[in-house]
Amino acid sequence: MPVTLLNSPEASSLPVYAVEADALDACQAPKAAIAWAKANGFSGAAATVLTIPGESGALAGAFFGLGNSDAANPLAAGALARQLPEGDWHFADVPKQAELALLGLLLGSYAFTRYGKKPRNTLRFRVPEGVDASRVERLANGCILARDLINTPAGDMGPDALEDATRALASEHGATLSVTLGDDLLKENLPMIHAVGRAAEAAPRLLDLKWGRENAPKVTLVGKGVCFDTGGLDLKPAAGMLLMKKDMGGAANVLGLASMIMAAKLDVRLRVLIPAVENAVAGNAFRPGDVLTSRKGLTVEIGNTDAEGRLVLADAMALADEEEPELLIDMATLTGAARVALGPDVPPFYTDNEALADALAQASESVADPLWRMPLWKPYLSRLDSKIADINNVSLDGFAGSPIAGLFLGRFVEKAKSWAHFDIYGWNPAEKPYAPVGGEAQGIRAIERVLVQRYGAGA
């Protein structure tokens, strides 16, 4: 990582002075430095950085703008990782939300370098007092894993590569991975995963990772692993297909979350289920009008092959549900409708468990990981009625697309003690101080917070 953390105070590191909007005079920096800032028109605007020269022309420090403190995002410290020159640095004063500031730095230093783009400047940053650096690193590593997986194009991140990445994570933490591949999906009664993925060159599969003490509370994460979504026979138009390498964003996010959980050694029996498929077009593709029989036994009429995520998730979630987990979480780039409702940066989540909803909303706020609850509005279930099967995979009009997709999934969850569904975008369409354009982790730091509250920080 281009930003590494200094645990012991280094006498030589340079100070970063945080400045609220138009509050230069309140800053602890030397008078000459403040005069320099004024001469340069630096006003403390959010996420701006100005370096300070020393007497001999060497660097003496930097100013960092916090902007209007009410609107300030603590992760905006990431701008430092993107703008400071190479060297050793520290915050002149411990930032208000120091853990998030440090996390912002690590996240802001991220670049996707697999295809030759240069990494960002190498910085070393002193850990502010009272901050648990290893926790911050666990969180950053999980988010960066999710970003890397999403950013890798489908040509290099097909179902096989997603399996490899899952296996690598499993072996790093002593987890087990079992894989149900190709026609074995039919033998193991996972027919909808097979139907969606069978037209692709790479065989569809279900990845099943397990970790932790067998008798610990069961927490199961299910992630949509559609490595590319052409829409199937109801093909997407070019503009809608362009970004569909990110349709395994749910899988990438649950793997990032799993890495946080395992690195923190939370006392849970973790299970991660990823249906890894490509929604491709070929002579053996599933068709509009087909009726699939799901693992659960419910028959599903295919109104549109582009509503494939809910199909592969339904079989994985039915399997998850069979062992009655204490908490079932699924994450998926499930609907365009979620973006229409809340935009790319605020994923909606759905649950009927009030305590879980409250915990998630609070955690989301406290760790600056946006989430917003939307309703599983039961009367809308009738919009999925089918003339010939138990349920259709789409409703006829576009109304409430994201809630209805959630209701569809809910038909496959019965025994889990609690369940939450996250309809994420998995992508930053615009650069942020703590993130470049590209794949993004969403919601997993908030979920991690809730899991730590419930299952202890571990060893």
Could you tell me the CA-to-CA distances from 387 to 291, 303, 304, 406, 411 in Å, in that order?
11, 11, 15, 21, 18
d(CA 226, CA 279): 7
Residues 240-278 as b or e (16 or more Cβ within 10 Å = b)? eeebbbbbbbbbbbbbbbbbbbbbbebbbbbbbbbbbbb
Q: Is 247 in the site for Zn ion (CB under 5 A)?
A: yes
Q: Is 227 in the site for ligand BES (CB under 6 A)?
A: no
d(CA 120, CA 265): 31
Choose the stretch contacting ligand BES; rule: CB under 6 A; options: 16-24, 110-118, 288-296, 302-310.
Answer: 302-310
Q: Is 306 in the site for Mn ion (CB under 5 A)?
A: yes
Strand partners, 329: 221, 420
The CB-of-309 to Zn ion minimum distance in angstroms stands at: 4
Considering the complex, state which of residue 109 and residue 333 has its C-beta at the smaller distance from ligand BES.
333
Q: Is 300 helix (H, G, I), strand (E, B) or coil?
A: strand
Q: Is 229 in the site for Zn ion (CB under 5 A)?
A: yes
Q: Is 423 in the site for Mn ion (CB under 5 A)?
A: no
Q: Is 229 in the site for ligand BES (CB under 6 A)?
A: yes
> How many residues lie near ligand BES (CB under 6 A)?
15
Choose the stretch contacting Zn ion; rule: CB under 5 A; options: 60-68, 136-144, 246-254, 358-366.
Answer: 246-254
Closest-approach residue to Mn ion (CB): 306
> Active-site residue among 310, 339, 432, 449?
310
Choose the stretch contacting ligand BES; rule: CB under 6 A; options: 122-130, 301-309, 379-387, 448-456.
Answer: 301-309
Residue 454 token pair = 């419930």
- Residue 293 interacts with, from ligand BES, Zn ion, Mn ion, none (CB under 5-8 Å by kind): none
Q: Phi/psi at 309 (nearest 5 deg)?
A: -60, -45
Q: What is the DSSP secondary-structure string of 14-79?
A: EEEEEEETT-GGG--S-HHHHHHHHHTT----TT-EEEEE-TTSSEEEEEEEEESTTT--GGGGHH
Going by the DSSP 8-state scheme, the letter that residue 92 receives in this structure is S
Going by the DSSP 8-state scheme, the letter that residue 120 receives in this structure is P
**Residues within window 276-335 making contact with Zn ion, judged by CB under 5 A:** 309
Q: Is 229 in the site for Mn ion (CB under 5 A)?
A: yes
Q: Is 252 in the site for ligand BES (CB under 6 A)?
A: no
The CB-of-309 to ligand BES minimum distance in angstroms stands at: 4
**Residues within window 187-226 making contact with Zn ion, judged by CB under 5 A:** 226
Q: Is 266 in the site for ligand BES (CB under 6 A)?
A: no
Concerning whether 236 is annotated as a catalytic residue, the answer is yes
Closest CA to 424 of 331, 357, 314, 341: 331
Half-sphere exposure for 388 (CA within 13 Å, toward CB): 8
Considering the complex, state which of residue 77 and residue 292 has its C-beta at the smaller distance from ligand BES.
292
Considering the complex, state which of residue 66 and residue 311 has its C-beta at the smaller distance from Mn ion.
311
Residues 6 or more apart in contact with residue 404 via CB below 8 angstroms: 380, 383, 384, 395
The helix or strand, by DSSP H or E, that contains position 334, with its residue range, turns out to be none
Binding residues for Zn ion, rule: CB under 5 A, are 226, 229, 247, 309
Binding residues for Mn ion, rule: CB under 5 A, are 229, 306, 308
Binding residues for ligand BES, rule: CB under 6 A, are 229, 247, 304, 306-309, 333-337, 394, 401, 425
Supply the residues annotated as catalytic.
236, 310
